[in-house]
């Protein structure tokens, strides 16, 4: 059985495909003709016993699966539909200690604790540091330009603020921030041969980041500092995180909050510069709705997966217990049943019920408010500093199976 009405072997998680584009035309066809559709994967592309998954492409179905964890579990490796190489049972077991791969009630306990670090008040308390940081990042980028004033937007601007925001949030000292950045890159980029990162290097980086964070947590237990880490790990109160759990949480943040926001910023810049009317509008009015539209338009996380806990039915298809189900946020975010003119990039779109941060269930993105603030702050600083920014080349895309990534975006200033 293959995806009906699509070329034989079509797989929306294929790194060869995603290195060149997100398959929006194919998603549109699936939404119309086979919104829940079986996609086989070539043998060896996954480390799972089966070789395929159900592609869920409509907004309503992605929401349904996300909000029914009793039917669709997160315990089997949610982030990876396709894995180039082998993922062992041990690795899957180890990943179950990360909240993204937990089900209620276990997930509820951890989520309730870590949520304390992400209250509106906690995010507001970062505002002035992040605003200042955004301004500095943009100014330093302008000083770093080549002879013709051009620079790579990704490395000079997009990577910096998300990293600094997470480091600020968990209180990583300035001198250690570059290490966290290096480790988090190594964990995500192993699909792209350009980075020459093996699974071993990725695993080593993960171990280092966990070790580092556990030390940070232990230090705060010893000597409380009144910051978020202290609040999450304070030993005396019941219902706090152990140092191990804290280490795994930081590992999750380093991946979940870093690459995602970086790619939203890179795609946002590309979208604004390729839609000059929207860029002009942004510079003039700075609409508060812009950041959400950037996330809808770019959908930095293309898909996550769930596993059926029992035989069930979705979109008229029979789903068997143990079947893997891919939630294609990129497709849901262009569903014409929900969005008027979904193919139009409109920074004043309101309402904008996109699923870029997930389908609204228990795993809904913890960092949504922070990410939207970061996007706002960085484009505000860019509009102030580089009103005449222009594209100086096509984006170079990241090779991977679930991130809509840009690894290079050349821009120039003026003329
Ligand atoms: C979960 C997207 C930024 C932390 C998720 C999920 C998505 C997502 C799709 C899964 C939702 C689900 O399974 O229902 C994004 C995008 C971002 C972004 C597109 C940027 C534009 C951030 C930031 C942080 C963060 C800045 C933290 C600093 C998390 C965490 C989870 C999560 C901890 C797991 C929540 C759980 O399992 O309960 N994100 N995210 N994210 N995100 Fe984000």
pLDDT, tens only, 68-101: 999 999 998 787 677 654 456 666 677 778 899 9
pLDDT, tens only, 109-124: 899 988 888 888 889 9
Pocket test for ligand 1, best of 122, 304, 365 (most atoms within 8 A of CB): 365
Gap from CA of 415 to ligand 1 centroid (Å): 38
- Using CA atoms, how far apart are residues 236 and 238, in angstroms rounded to an integer? 7
- Using CA atoms, how far apart are residues 104 and 213, in angstroms rounded to an integer? 25
> Burial letters for 312-324: b for 16+ Cβ neighbours within 10 Å, e otherwise?
bebbebebeeebb
Gap from CA of 356 to ligand 1 centroid (Å): 9
Gap from CA of 100 to ligand 1 centroid (Å): 9
Both tokens of 5, joined, read 């009405």
Does residue 304 have its Cβ closer than 6 Å to ligand 1? Answer: yes
What's the CATH number for 15-413? 1.10.630.10
Could you report the predicted ipTM of this complex, rounded to two decimals? 0.99
Q: Confidence band (pLDDT; 50, 70, 90) for 186? A: confident
């Amino acid at each position: 059985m293959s995806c009906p009405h699509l070329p034989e072997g079509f797989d929306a998680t294929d790194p060869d495909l995603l290195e060149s584009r997100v398959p929006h035309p194919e998603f549109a066809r699936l939404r119309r003709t086979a919104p829940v559709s079986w996609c086989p994967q070539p043998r060896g592309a996954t480390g799972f016993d089966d070789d395929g998954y159900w592609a869920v492409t409509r907004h309503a179905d992605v929401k349904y699966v996300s909000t029914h964890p009793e039917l669709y579990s997160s315990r089997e490796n949610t982030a990876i539909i396709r894995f180039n190489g082998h993922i062992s049972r041990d690795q899957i077991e180890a990943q179950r200690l990360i909240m993204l791969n937990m089900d209620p009630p276990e997930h509820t306990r951890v989520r309730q604790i870590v949520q304390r670090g992400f209250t509106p008040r906690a995010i507001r308390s970062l505002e002035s540091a992040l605003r200042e940081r955004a301004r500095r990042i943009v100014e330093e980028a302008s000083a770093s330009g080549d002879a013709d004033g051009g620079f790579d937007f990704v490395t000079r601007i997009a990577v910096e603020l998300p990293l600094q925001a997470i480091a600020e949030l968990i209180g990583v000292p300035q001198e250690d921030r570059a290490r966290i950045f290096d480790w988090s890159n190594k964990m995500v980029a192993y699909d792209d041969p350009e980075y020459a990162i093996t699974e071993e290097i990725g695993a080593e980086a993960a171990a280092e980041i966990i070790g580092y964070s556990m030390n940070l947590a232990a230090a705060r237990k010893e000597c409380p500092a009144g910051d978020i880490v202290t609040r999450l790990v304070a030993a005396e109160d019941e219902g706090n995180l152990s140092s191990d759990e804290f280490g795994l949480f930081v590992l999750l943040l380093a991946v979940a909050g870093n690459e995602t926001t970086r790619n939203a910023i890179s795609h946002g810049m590309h979208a604004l510069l390729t839609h000059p009317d929207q860029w002009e509008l942004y510079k003039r009015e700075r609409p508060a709705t812009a950041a959400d539209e950037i996330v809808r338009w770019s959908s930095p996380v293309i898909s996550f997966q769930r596993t059926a806990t029992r035989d069930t039915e979705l979109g008229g298809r029979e789903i068997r217990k143990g079947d893997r189900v891919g939630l294609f946020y990129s497709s849901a975010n262009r569903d014409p049943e929900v969005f008027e003119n979904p193919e139009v990039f409109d920074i004043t779109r309101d309402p904008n019920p996109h699923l870029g941060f997930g389908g609204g269930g228990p795993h809904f993105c913890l960092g949504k408010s922070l990410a939207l603030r970061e996007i706002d702050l960085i484009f505000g600083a860019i509009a102030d500093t580089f009103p005449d920014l222009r594209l100086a080349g096509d984006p170079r895309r990241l090779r991977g199976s679930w991130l809509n990534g840009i690894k290079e975006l050349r821009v120039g200033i003026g003329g």
